[in-house]
Amino acid sequence: MLMNLYIVHSSKISIQFAKRLKKFLPICLLIIVHKRNELVAKGVDIINMAAGDPNRLTSSHILQAMHEVIEDAANHNYPPYEGTKKFRVRRM
């Protein structure tokens, strides 16, 4: 049952929410996470698109590009309030 996802266990405490809370439907994200876990358990290769939760290594060409822009001192400050000319120019 999806409500079991709400039960918190640790070595020091065990919290179980009141039965009346089980009447409420779990939030959409919990349903998605539960479905994803079911599919992964069946061997389906799932690409995790959740923000801040990558499950694959960053490609080497992306890492290289990141290193290049990190080393450029021009990237160490906030841009001007009006933005840089490069980004203000309309591209056709």
Q: Each residue of 14-64: pLDDT tens digit?
A: 777 777 776 766 677 788 888 889 999 999 988 777 666 667 788 999 999
Q: What is the pTM of this model?
A: 0.35
- Asked if 28 and 52 count as a contact pair (C-beta separation under 8 A), the reply is no
Domain ranges of the chain: 2-88
